[in-house]
Amino acid sequence: MKSSNTIVWINVFTAKPGKLDELVAIQAEELLNFKKGSQGVPGWISSRWHRSVDNNKAIMVTTFESIDFHKNWLEKSEFREHFNKINHLIEDTEGGYYTLVEEIENM
């Protein structure tokens, strides 16, 4: 599959010691909320939430229709409320925008 015009936000979370399970659970619940409501989160396409098997990191890979849709979500009160729920669990976070160059599947 060749590239598309969508944007991917990849965020690497470093949880505080002993807090990864709680962070993973809250984030997973929040992702389900993306689909709820009358329209869900505008411009949101999909998310994948991964946790490391040997330390305190987790990675969120979220696809939006555009950077503007993602930035608009970050300005919403719903996002701020969610961030306030997880902020005390996070030691560090690093994120950035990416575009899909190539996707190869074995299906």
Q: Kindly report, residue by residue over 83-99, the tens digit of the pLDDT.
A: 899 999 999 999 999 99
pLDDT of residue 57: 95
Which residues have CB under 8 Å from 78's CB, separation 6+?
Answer: 33
Q: Is the pLDDT of residue 3 over 60?
A: no
Average pLDDT over all residues of the chain: 88
Q: Is the pLDDT of residue 47 over 70?
A: yes
Asked if residue 24 lies in contact with residue 31, where contact means CB atoms within 8 angstroms, the answer is no
For residue 53, give Cα distances in angstroms to 11, 34, 59: 17, 26, 12
